[in-house]
A and B are shown apart, each in its own frame.
Chain A
Amino acid sequence: MRITYKMMINNSEYWLSKQREKLSDAEIVSAAGQVINKPSDDPEGAAHILEYRSEIAKYGQYSSNLTEADDLISAGTDVLDSVNSLLTEALDLLDSSSSSSASEATLETAKNLYNQILDLANTRYSSNYLYGGSQTDTLPFSDEVSVSSGSAEGIRYYLGSDASAVTITICDSSGNEVRTLSSSGTSGSNTITWDGKDDSGNTLSDGDYTFAVSASDSSGNTVASSCYQGDGGKKQIIIGDGNIVTINSNGGVIFSEALSAISQLIASLEDGTSSDSASATTKSLNSAVSSIKCEMVALSNTSSQLGVTTDRVDKLTELYKERLSTVETGSADQAAVELSAQQTAYEVAQAATAKILNLPRLSDYL
């Protein structure tokens, strides 16, 4: 083949530019600190990077969801713990007052216990009521009912089970009984209409009234009841792909028994304790305690489930981060080695070009 001087120069230029390209690639990898700087660097890797990133984002979200669920559970546990100790106090109160008729102070203490449990059941957690089901912005336990322009709204109450006899007692703001309504109801929330009139049929003046509910079944046993205004909604938190943890937020279920039992205690203290009513009250209080404990166990079970999930989410996040960095960053050592290899290759190409440029020409000798 006939080789002209220009061909040699062309070839040198060609190899110089090839080497420069490789050097520049190596330089980018080294300077950017990542192997994949655009999809074409590694198409499959680029898709993986997106996948890993969105997994990491998702697990980050799960992790914050888990923290929220944990906080909710510890708030709930605190509430239930307090209710539990209040119920124990109530049992003690009943024990100490069983022999003699109740003093004013004892009665006051019992009423106080009731109000404390009511307050706990109305706990707010970051501006939402914890125990209102899905009705997170309605006061869950409210015994208020108002009369305006001579008519009253329906009275909503809650039953722990079906009851054949439900008594709603309505008092005015001074605590005088003005009306007693009777009905029957089914387990869950019930609503009874009140015409806003007193027992004698007179329309009551406008204003706020309070109501109390008591219920019993066909055998005469007390049925747990309360002034629960929420619904049966549950608090759900997503803690994984298709993994949703449910936290009971139905205050009716959780607190009706306790509230009923304390009401029963108050009633029996007011009436003077007969041994029958005392033992019935004790039974109710004990059953309320065990219900609350049951609920606490459920929370602690959920909490340990969350613990396991948190571990898993943390591990997976780490795993995806590690994978991401493997795909995206590659190895820094490798990048450095590659860079110096390309540098050497480029220098060799330059040296070769210089040699060709310095070749003696025929004209040097003529």
Chain B
Amino acid sequence: MSSMSCIMNTSVSALQTYQAMINVANSNIANVNTDGYCRQTAVVNEIQSNSTSSGATGTGVEVTNVKRISDAFTLKHICSANTASGKSETELNYLESVEAVFNESSGSGVSSALSGFFNAWQDLANDPSGSTARSTVISKAGTLASTLNDTYGELKDIRNGINDDVSQTVNDINGITNQIADLNQQILEAKAGGTDANTLLDTRDSLLTELSSKVDIASYQDDSGQLNIQLSNGKSLVRGSTSYELGATTNSTTGLSDITWVDRNGNETVVTDSISGGSLGGEIDVMNNVIPEYLDQLDTLAATIMDQVNTLHENGYDAKGDAGLAFFTGTGAGDIAVNNNIVNDTDLVAAASTSAGAPGDGTIATEIVALQDSSLMDDGSTLDEYFGSIVSNIGTQVADSTSSSTTQSDLVSFYKNLRESVSGVDSDEELANIALYQNAYEAAAKVMSVLDELLQTIIDM
């Protein structure tokens, strides 16, 4: 036989349970637009039954815990898509700046400076004795040199800008790993104390997602629920409640940052080469691989112009009948310049092939003009073609990077949708649940009033 108080207790448990369930649904609705929030459901259990002479009867219902609906598989995919997308988006960003340096759609730049330079030599070849033609050669050569200097300088500026960004990204990463380690500790404590750690877990997942867009990592949860994070080379970023910092140390040779991993004792290990993903991976790739390649190509172009023009010019004779000086000075695209002596004295432009003082002799000028169509570069291309291929290379790189960045971000969207499908809150669904719970609550309350009447009956007896 169940006692009246027993029945009363059952009703109370039902009222409490439905209140709790409505509260969970309510909290879900409240967080319908909260990023990283995983919808929750109250796990409800029947309270152990009493065995009576007339059989077992239930003693009520209780919420045993509030479960967070999350999917570790989807999270892993979001992280790896994020790593790829973080890298390609960062790369694209910088590559577009590089592309802008080489963009000659307005019709000015290295290519047109080259045309101007050789055309000026043609004018000089036509009129070797004219001082106008000589000064035009000098000014067009100056334009060519300064255009090369500027292009080279702009690329270096971009690279230095990336270098600054690398330090910022490293700081961000350290901030995140530090927070994750703290959360690990709090989660451990919460679990030990028997409270549920759902909010902490949501925050930790969000941080992990953010971290994955910055650097390529491997993560796993250990048995105690601690999230451990490693770099691809196995160096730990987070182990339990300890986080390990990354550093950006200036490399004395390149003047650019190396990424270091700092152990517990403060010893630094260079890990630059092991970082291949995320925005940090993208920054490193563009800074250490992409831009140096373009700098090299510009250097090669400038050095070839310098070598070839200087060789011919030094074989020639200037308007005073003296042997020609080196026309260009410098070592590469960064510092190529017209020989200052020539800039100061137009007569020093050597157009003639004889020392006899033949002002009408433009043989050397003609030979210099012929350089424009000669296959001077190692790959058999002309100067114009070589520069054209640099431009088309960066174009291809940006186009490829654009499409891969689109693919990656589509993939991220796809997995985020998948996560939303599992963990996202649907207010209609919650409302329907609340209606259901409300119904049940009303029924339990009805039972209470029946009980009340029963008690009244007993009292009145």
Contacts and interface: CB of A to CB of B under 8 A. Distances in A.
A34 interface: yes
A68 to B, nearest CB: 6
B54 to A, nearest CB: 41
A363 B420 contact: no
B360 A238 contact: no
B421 A2 contact: yes
Interface string B138-159: 0000000000000000000000
B105 A36 contact: yes
A50 B395 contact: no
Interface stretch (A57-65, A115-123, A259-267, A292-300): A57-65
Nearest to B354: A134
Contact of B105 (A38, A135, A137): A38
B360 A132 contact: yes
Interface in B402-428: 402, 413, 416-417, 420-422, 424-428
B103 interface: yes
Contact of A46 (B107, B125, B392, B427): B392
B360 A128 contact: yes
B127 interface: yes
Nearest to A137: B359
Interface residues of A, number: 58
A135 B425 CA distance: 93
B111 interface: yes
B169 interface: no
A133 B126 contact: no
Nearest to B413: A14
A3 interface: yes
Contact of A57 (B116, B420, B428): B116
B47 interface: no
A39 B398 contact: yes
Interface string B372-387: 1100000000001101
B103 to A, nearest CB: 5
Contact of A2 (B103, B354, B422): B422
A14 B414 CA distance: 11
B384 A54 contact: yes
Interface of A: 1-7, 10-11, 14, 34, 36-44, 46-51, 53-54, 57-58, 60-61, 65, 68, 126-128, 132-137, 231, 233, 235-238, 241-242, 244, 249, 328, 361-363, 366
Interface of B: 32-33, 96, 99-100, 102-105, 107, 111-112, 114-116, 118-119, 122-123, 125-130, 352, 354, 356, 358-363, 366, 369-370, 372-373, 384-385, 387-389, 391-399, 402, 413, 416-417, 420-422, 424-429, 431-432, 435
21 contacts: A7-B420, A36-B105, A38-B395, A39-B99, A39-B391, A47-B389, A50-B111, A51-B385, A51-B388, A53-B111, A57-B112, A127-B129, A133-B358, A136-B129, A233-B360, A237-B125, A238-B369, A249-B360, A361-B428, A363-B428, A366-B431
**4 closest cross-chain pairs (CB), A and B:** A39-B395, A43-B395, A134-B358, A40-B398
